[in-house]
Structure 1
Amino acid sequence: MKKQHSLRFILIVTATSLLAMAIFACALFTVLHYRSSEITREQQRLSNHAVYLREANLSDKELDTYAAAFSLRITIIKSDGTVSYDTYFNPKDLDNHLYRQEIKDAFAKGTGTAIRSSANAKQQLLYEALLTDSNEVIRVSRELSVIKNWTYEFLSDLALIFLALLLLSMLTIVFIINHTTKALEILTNTAIEYSKGNLSHHATVIGPTEYTILSETLNGMAVQLQQQFKQLQNTSFEFLAIFNAMEEGIVLIDSNLRILLSNNAFDRIFAHNTIAKETPLRQWVFSEAVQTSIEKAFTGQSATPCCLTVCPEGSERMYFQVCMAPVAEKKGKIISLVLTFTDITKTRRLELVRKDFVANVSHELKTPLTSIGGFAEILVNKQAEGKQAQQFLEIIFDNVKQMQLIVEDLLLLASLENDEKQITMQSCSVEHIIEESLRRCTYKASMKKMVIESKVQRKLYCMGNEGLLIQAMVNLILNAILYSEEGKTISIVVEEVENQILFKVQDQGCGIAEENLERIFERFYRVDKARSRKEGGTGLGLSIVKHIANIHNGNISVESHIGEGSTFTLSIPQ
């Protein structure tokens, strides 16, 4: 595993560079201090030579020998500044030295020191002057080139060392910067990929610890975001599934009444296809009441539900209750609405059926009650006697019997419509059902001199409630008797077709018009109302047959032609 670098390493390298510069500064200070100390020691040595020469009182020749032995320049200056002796130059060629700094100090203080360039030797010298008892100055000097050369040589070596350390520090810094920049480039590219939505991209950084931690944090964040996006996506799919599975039509519109979102139910109701976004709502919903409610809702007013009538092409008229509510607000202003279209067609139809039912029941009961009331009043007032009174009593009895039949049929319908009531199902003999049905209808048929023929395949059985099936067949046979003329024949055929038992009742009556075929199974619906009441029908027989067929998961159908009679077919699963 590669060694990871941290910012502390960068600080160490920086501190090393600063230390190198500090060492160089210290070395430079040491050199300068050494040079200063060396000059001080040299001054002391020259002073010792001057003292010796003052005490020794040597001749010029001896002075030359002494100067050569110690690499010195010896100069003797008189009180007037003229040179009486010089190791290197002829005294006559030298100018007056009275105003030289070291000479002035020697005459004034007894000693004098100076470091300066010699006008005659053309190089820098260290001078040490000493006043003698004879009021002359002995000056001893030596060149500083040796000290200076050594100092320059040391400084050159030190400069090379410093440059080498500086170069090494720069290379180290460049390496670290490049390494850090590469890590930053990787992290930058990773951030760019994340901004594009590519959360599967991962950053691998082996470098400064902080960048490694940052890359691991970014990778962990990307994984968490992927999981959250996946959860949001699943939630979105679930929402869309629920949204599109709802039976109510739902649409989201903006303040310009443009469709932003709609579910399958809404599309199916109004377009039979997918509705494109940004489509104006008016293109599909034409109701002024709906438009008015939408305008109120967008102004913040309470919009009451309204009713919408839709007439789909090739289908029956449908009714919808439209409710609306704001779903987004910005600074108190409603910017969108959700509209819910609830199908109330069945409710409307049931309401219509209920009204018709109440009206029909009222009418069916009112007629016999009126008759009963009228004849009863005559009898109470003793306005009829003998045979006439007996006749009135028979009319009252017939009307009471008619009312009793209506009530019994209504109770039977209520019982059949009760979903909580359990109907016992068992294997039933078809032959027995037909025999019992004929037994109950023979008297009615004989009164109209009618013949009932039956043809039943032997040993047929079906699964059902025998009592209800007999009731259904009785109703169909009585209906055939009711709407057939005297002396006609009614045919009953029972056969097995594709695991279905078909009970067919065919009459030779007046037939049913095509426009009445769809309604004959409704309660109290009569094709010939006068004949039905005259014969004592309740108008509920075929409706009872339809309910019995539904309970057995069967079906009731009719084929009829005017003047040719009708054929009712009751289909019951085997």
Structure 2
Amino acid sequence: MPDFKNRVLSFFLVGIMLVFILLALIVGGLVHYTVKEKRLQSYQSELQLVSLAAVNKDTGLLEKQLGRAEKDLGGKLLYLSPKGKVLAQSKSEKEAVPDQPLNGLDEYKGSSLVSTKDMDRLVYTLPVKNQTSGSLEGYVQLVIPEKTANSTERSIWLAMSLGFLISLVIILFVSIRVLNRIVKPVEEATSTAKELARGNFKARTYEYKGDVGELNFSLNVLARNLEKMTKSYESQQDRLKTLIENMGSGLILIDSDGYITIVNRAFKEIFKEYTDSWTGHLFHEVFPYKEIKEIVEDTFIMETNIRKQVVLPIHIERKNFDVYSAPVLNSLGKLRGIVLVFHDITELKKLEQMRKDFVANVSHELKTPVTSLKGFAETLLDGADGNPEIRRKFLTIMWNESDRLQHLIQDLLDLSKVEQGFSLNLQKVSLSTIVEEVIVMLETKAQEKEITIKYSAEGNTMIEGDSPRLKQVFINLINNSLNYTPKGGRITIRLKESSEKVTFSVSDTGIGIQKEEVSRIFERFYRVDKARSRNSGGTGLGLAIVKHLVEAHRGRIHVKSKPGEGSTFTLVFKKNLMIEFTNY
């Protein structure tokens, strides 16, 4: 940057010097011509005054005029006859004048001043003529050293030179200041730009005032924006890296040439030693599974998403994976690579198998009571119906067993349905209306156990929901409270509206639930008091069904309970469900 400054300063000074030289030539010529003209006019005026005294033949006046003119002009003045004889002269001894100052006076025929040069002297001659007759009466001459005659012009030249020099110094000083003011911000801006180019986005330059500082101001704005963008990019990279490394599924990124660029932690944990040196290698050379290679090839060829479930042998295990392969496209739609995501669904497969086994086992267990029913019926048909007491006993047992089996089968069907998925028929429903209907249904049972039901509703309890499913939820919860509340107890049911939700709660004075059992009460066939549940006709599936139905309505369920003091079940429903229910 100093070279740049010197070049600019040199160019600027050369330009100024050229302008000054051109200006000096023009002004010098003009001054020379003007001074010469003024000098001739001055000489002619003085000589004309002397000539007037000579024409009037006034010797005293002539000598006085000659002396005054000599003093004013600084040269020797002479009055000559027409033949060239000196008739009068100034009394100064400054300049010696020969007896015959000039020859050839016949040349001065005109009436204007004539200038000649004699060695280092200048001679100015003016003819003196009679104003009446016009005849020549003599000459008035000024003999002046050339140095004296040009002294005025030299003084002007000296003053001009001094003025030009002072002007040049001032302009040079101002130019350097101006250049510093202009070049220094550019130098600092250039230095800052170099730092930014090196990646130092914290670099800043001083912001000068005025127009010269616009570049520095803009550069600082650029630096701040670059720093902000860099921090944002680094933050996004960190978040993306954290997300990729900590996601529960294995992820592998392959570029457009087939090279592996990213392998996340979950992927390494799944495949263990196979992934230590995969990064930077071709996918088909290091990945050992043919099924995955085919998925990658199909994604490269078709450039579309592919999803497939595969079973891969990992060491001594066989694991189930839901493999999702998607192309990575740029803004122009050009393939930049593909991303593979491995969801380990081994546990889900096991759970699915357990569910299937569970249903099969339950169905198998149903054979025993059905066989018992069949045996009692055969006994009655074989003649036992003749004894009224035995017949009534057998029929009562058969009725209770068939009723319990019917409830069990119905609950199993409901639970299986909600687990496998079903569609909710969403519409505006009033929870208070549904709860009141359920209370009417269970009022007889409550009266038999002498249980008091207290019900209250606050606000508008309209929500979007499936009325039959919600009715099933409330029946199970209130019926459970009746089953687990001893004779003479109390059940409190509340409905309350808030800004965006409706809350339902049912509290009882029953046996309560142990703290460690609260988390298990929504499991299938789990009973807090198995003997009491069986005696009351419970199947152990009611709360599991309630949980699934509440979650299907995007609601929440909370439980508070103390052994011996009772339990409170609270359901929270949103008024408006913005999610489109397709399958649950």
Equivalent-residue separation in structure 1 for 2:162 and 2:188 (angstroms): 39
**Separation of aligned partners in 2, 1:170 and 1:280:** 69
Q: Which residue of 310, 313, 323 maps to 1:311?
A: 313
2: CA distance between counterparts of 1:128 and 1:332?
104
CA displacement, residues 246-269 of structure 1 (integer Å, 9 cap, x when unaligned):
222222211111122232222222
**Partner AA of 1:467 in structure 2:** K
Q: In structure 2, what is the equivalent of residue 439 of structure 1?
A: none
1:158-557 alignment, distance < 5 Å: 158-178=160-180, 180-204=182-206, 209-212=210-213, 214-215=215-216, 218-219=219-220, 221-223=222-224, 225-271=226-272, 277-314=279-316, 316-329=317-330, 331-350=332-351, 425-426=513-514, 465-467=528-530
| 2: CA distance, partners of 1:413 / 1:321 | 29
Are 1:72 and 2:135 an aligned pair?
no
Aligned-partner Cα distance in 1 for 2:253–2:277: 12
CA distance in 2, matches of 1:202, 1:256: 41
| 1:53 is aligned to 2:64 | no
Whether the aligned pair in 2 keeps the contact of 1:124 and 1:145 (CA below 8 Å) is: no
The amino acid across from 1:177 in the alignment is L
- TM-score (normalised: structure 1): 0.50
Contact 1:199 1:226 in 2 (8 A): yes
Q: Percent identity?
A: 21
SS of the aligned residue for 1:200 comes to: coil
Q: Counterpart in 1 of 2:42?
A: 41
Q: 1:113 to 1:266 in 2, by over 3 A?
A: same
5+ residue gaps in structure 1?
1-13, 374-378, 380-384, 387-399, 429-462, 472-574
8 Å CA contact retained: 1:325, 1:338:
yes
Gapped regions of structure 2 (runs ≥ 5): 1-14, 71-75, 90-96, 384-397, 420-472, 485-511, 517-525, 535-584
Q: 2:150 is matched by which residue type in structure 1?
A: K
Conservation of the 8 A alpha-carbon contact between 1:249 and 1:266: yes
Q: Deviations over 1:406-456 (max 9, x none)?
A: 99998998999999999974499xxxxxxxxxxxxxxxxxxxxxxxxxxxx
Residues 208 and 89 (structure 1), Cα distance of their counterparts in 2 relative to 1, 3 Å cut: farther
Instruction: Using the TM superposition, give the Cα deviation of residue 296 of structure 1 relative to its aligned residue in structure 2, in angstroms.
Output: 3.6
Given that 1:322 and 1:339 are in contact with CA atoms closer than 8 Å, whether structure 2 keeps it comes out as: yes
| Residue of structure 2 equivalent to 1:113 | 113
Which residue of 2 is the match for residue 138 of structure 1? 138
For the residues of structure 2 that align with 1:239 and 1:159, how far apart are their CA atoms? 76
Q: Is the 8 A contact 2:251 2:264 kept in 1?
A: yes
Q: Which residue of 1 aligns with 2:121?
A: 123
Please say which of residues 336-345 and 178-187 is displaced more in the overlay.
178-187
Change (3 A) 1:190 1:346: same
Which residue does the alignment assign to 2:457? Answer: none
- AA matched with 2:43: E
What SS is found at the alignment partner of 1:198? coil
Judge conservation of contact 2:245–2:264 (CA < 8 Å) in 1: yes
Q: CA deviation at 1:46?
A: 1.4
Q: Deviations over 1:52-91 (max 9, x none)?
A: 4345398xxx99998688421445556xxxx566984455
The amino acid that maps onto 2:46 is R
Which secondary structure state, in structure 2, belongs to the residue aligned with residue 302 of structure 1? Answer: coil
Q: Say which SS state the counterpart of residue 150 (structure 2) adopts.
A: helix
Matched, 1:156 2:129: no
Query: CA–CA distance in 1 between the matches of 2:286 and 2:410?
Result: 46
How far is the alpha carbon of 1:287 from its aligned partner? Answer: 3.7
Secondary structure of the residue aligned to 2:189 is helix
Tell me how far apart the structure 1 counterparts of residues 515 and 170 of structure 2 sit (CA, whole Å).
Answer: 106
Question: CA, structure 1 residues 122+204, in 2 after alignment: closer, same or farther (shift >3 Å)?
Answer: closer
Given that 2:304 and 2:327 are in contact with CA atoms closer than 8 Å, whether structure 1 keeps it comes out as: no
SS at match of 1:46: helix
Relative to structure 1, is the Cα distance of residues 34 and 134 closer, same or farther in structure 2, using a 3 angstrom cutoff?
closer
SS in 2 for 1:294: helix
Asked if the contact 1:251–1:263 (Cα under 8 Å) also holds between the matched residues in 2, the reply is yes
Kept after mapping to 2: 8 A contact 1:186/1:203: yes
* Residues 409 and 285 of structure 1: CA distance in aligned 2, closer, same or farther (over 3 Å): farther
Contact 1:271 1:284 in 2 (8 A): no
Cα distance, 1:40 vs. partner?
0.9
Task: Answer yes or no: is the 8 Å Cα contact 2:128–2:138 preserved in 1.
Answer: yes
Instruction: Return closer, same or farther for 1:354/1:306 CA change in 2, 3 Å cut-off.
Output: same
- The C-alpha deviation readout for 1:324-360, integer Å capped at 9, x for no partner, is 2222336443122222222232344455556777888
CA drift at 1:149: 0.7
CA distance in 2, matches of 1:141, 1:181: 64
**Greater CA deviation, 45-54 or 252-261?**
45-54
> Do the aligned partners of residues 181 and 248 (structure 1) sit closer, same or farther apart at CA in structure 2, a change above 3 Å counting?
same
**Whole-Å separation in 2 of the counterparts to 1:427 and 1:173:** 90
Report the AA paired with residue 192 of structure 1: K
What code does the residue aligned with 2:77 have? L
Map Cα deviations across residues 217-238 of structure 1 (whole Å, 9 max, x no partner).
5445544544454444334333
CA distance in 1, matches of 2:262, 2:531: 51
Q: Give SS of 2:314's match.
A: coil
Change in 2 beyond 3 A, CA 1:122/1:235? closer
**Does structure 2 conserve the Cα–Cα contact (< 8 Å) formed by 1:262 and 1:275?**
no
- Evaluate the alpha carbon distance shift between residue 178 and residue 131 of structure 1 in structure 2; reply closer, same or farther with a 3 A threshold: same
- Please provide the CA RMSD for this pair: 5.6
Deviation at 1:163, TM superposition (A): 0.9
Structure 1 CA distance for aligned equivalents of residues 367 and 515 of structure 2:
42
Q: Judging changes above 3 Å, is the alpha-carbon distance between structure 1 residues 353 and 63 closer, same or farther for their aligned structure 2 residues?
A: closer
1:65 and 1:408 mapped to 2: Cα distance? 159
Task: Indicate how the Cα distance of structure 1 residues 40 and 319 shifts in structure 2: closer, same or farther if over 3 A, else same.
Answer: same
Deviation of the 1:317 alpha carbon: 0.8
Larger radius of gyration: 1
The number of equivalent residue pairs is 376
Measure how far apart 1:189 and its partner are.
2.4
CA distance in 2, matches of 1:356, 1:464: 21
